[in-house]
Amino acid sequence: MKNVARWTAIIALFTIPFLPLYVAGELFFPFITGKNFAFRILIEIAIASYAVLAIVDRRYRPRFSWILVLFTAFVAWMAIANFLGVHPHKAFWSNFERMDGWIMLIHVYGLFIVATSVLTVEKLWRRWWMFFLSVGAFVCLYGLIQTVGGAQIHQSGTRIDASFGNAIYMAVYLMFSILIAGWLAVTSKGWVRYALAGSAILSLLLLLLTASRGPLIGLAAGIGAASVLWLGLSLRSKETRNSVGLKWAAGGLLGLLILIGGFYLVRDSAFVEQTPSLSRLSSVFTLSEELEVRSTIWGIALQGVQEDPLTGWGQEGFNQVFNKYYEPSLYAQEAWFDRAHNMYIDWLVAGGIPALLLFVSLLALAFFALLRAPEYTRAERALLIGALAAYAVQALVVFDNLFSYVPLAILLAMAHASASRTIPALEALPEVRSENNRTIVGVVAVLVAGAAVWMVNVPSINAANHLVYAVSPSQAGIATNLELFKMALKDGSFANQEIREQLSMFSKRVSEEANVPDELKSALVALAIEEMAKEIAFSPSDARLRAQYAQALETAGKSEESIAEFESAIELSPRKQALYITYGFSLYRLGRLEEAQEAFRIAYELDPSFEEVAITSASGYILTGSVAEGKALLMEALGTTTPDHDILFYAYYQTQQWNELIGVAEARVTAESGSAASRLRLAQAYAVANRFAEARAEIEATIAAHPGSRTEAEVLLAKILQAQ
CATH number, residue 689: 1.25.40
H or E, element range at 63: strand 63-64
Residue 329 burial (CB count, 10 A): 15
Q: CA-to-CA distance for 499 and 532, rounded, in angstroms?
A: 10
Comparing 26-40, 297-311, 699-713, the range with the smallest average pLDDT is 699-713
Q: What is the pLDDT of residues 506-545, one digit of tens each?
A: 999 999 898 999 999 999 999 999 999 999 999 999 999 9
Q: Kindly compute the dihedral angle of the four CA atoms of residues 555, 558, 560, 565, in this order, to the nearest 10 degrees.
A: -60
- DSSP summary character for residue 590: T
Question: Across residues 73-88, what is the average pLDDT?
Answer: 97
- Residue 334 structural domain: 57-428
**pLDDT-derived band at 257, boundaries 50, 70, 90:** confident
Nearest to 399 by CA among 223, 177, 216, 215: 215
> How many folded domains does the chain comprise?
2
Q: What is the chain's alpha carbon radius of gyration, rounded to the nearest angstrom?
A: 30
* Residue 51 located in a structural domain: no
Mutual orientation of helices 167-186 and 378-394 as an angle, nearest 10°? 170
Assigned domain for 543 exists = no
Q: Is residue 482 part of a domain?
A: no
With b meaning 16 or more CB within 10 Å and e meaning fewer, what string describes 387-402? bbbbbbbbbbbbbbbb
Residues 650 and 664 sit within 8 Å (Cβ to Cβ): no
Contact call for residues 222 and 387 (beta carbons, < 8 A) = yes
Q: Which of 620, 582, 588, 587 is nearest to 601 (CA)?
A: 620
- Sorting pLDDT into bands at 50, 70 and 90, what band is 238? low
Write the pLDDT tens digit of every residue in 559-605: 999 999 999 999 999 999 999 999 999 999 999 999 999 999 999 99
Among 371, 396, 428, where does a domain finish? 428
What does the alpha-carbon distance between residue 556 and residue 546 come to, in Å, rounded to a whole number? 15
pLDDT at 233: 78
Residues 165-185 have a mean pLDDT of 96
Instruction: Look at residue 286 and tell me whether its pLDDT is greater than 90.
Output: no
Q: What pLDDT score does 272 carry?
A: 76
Q: Is the pLDDT of residue 460 over 80?
A: yes
**Enclosing H/E stretch for 64:** strand 63-64
Amino acid present at 115: A
Annotate 110-165 with DSSP letters as a single string: HHHHHHHHHHHHTT-HHHHHHHHHHHHHHHHHHHHHHHTTSS--SSSSSS--TTTT
**Helix 402-419 / helix 66-83 crossing angle, nearest 10 deg:** 140
Q: Is residue 119 part of a domain?
A: yes
Asked, for residue 384, whether it belongs to a domain, the answer is yes
Q: How far is CA 523 from CA 53, 510, 516, 530, in A?
A: 54, 11, 11, 11
Which distant-in-sequence residues (6+ apart) come within 8 Å of 193 by Cβ?
A: 185
- At 56 the three-state DSSP class reads helix
Concatenate the DSSP letters of all residues of 414-446 into one string: HHHHHH-EE-HHHHHSPP---HHHHHHHHHHHH
Q: Which of 401, 428, 455 is the last residue of a domain?
A: 428
| Full-model pTM | 0.94
Other C-beta atoms lying within 10 Å of the C-beta of residue 373: 18
- What's the rounded mean pLDDT across residues 299-323? 97
| Within-domain flag for 11 | no
- Residue 546 falls inside a structural domain: no
pLDDT at 425 over 70: yes
Sign of CA dihedral 435, 440, 441, 446: positive
Residue 445: predicted pLDDT: 93
Q: Which residue has the higher pLDDT, 433 or 275?
A: 433
Calculated CA dihedral for residues 113, 115, 117, 121, nearest 10 degrees: 180
| Residue 713 pLDDT class (50, 70, 90 cuts) | confident
The pLDDT > 70 percentage for the chain reads 98
563 closest CA partner among 555, 554, 572, 571: 554
Share of the chain above pLDDT 90, in %: 82
Amino acid in position 701: A
Q: Which residue, of 382, 407, 428, is where some domain finishes?
A: 428
pLDDT band at 260 (very low <50, low <70, confident <90, very high): confident
Instruction: Give the C-alpha distances (Å, rounded to integers) separating 115 from 110, 129, 386, 408, 415.
Output: 8, 12, 21, 12, 11
Q: Is residue 537 part of a domain?
A: no
**How do residues 355-401 score in pLDDT, each as one tens digit?**
999 999 999 999 999 999 999 988 899 999 999 999 999 999 999 99
Say if residues 644 and 667 touch (Cβ distance below 8 Å).
Answer: yes
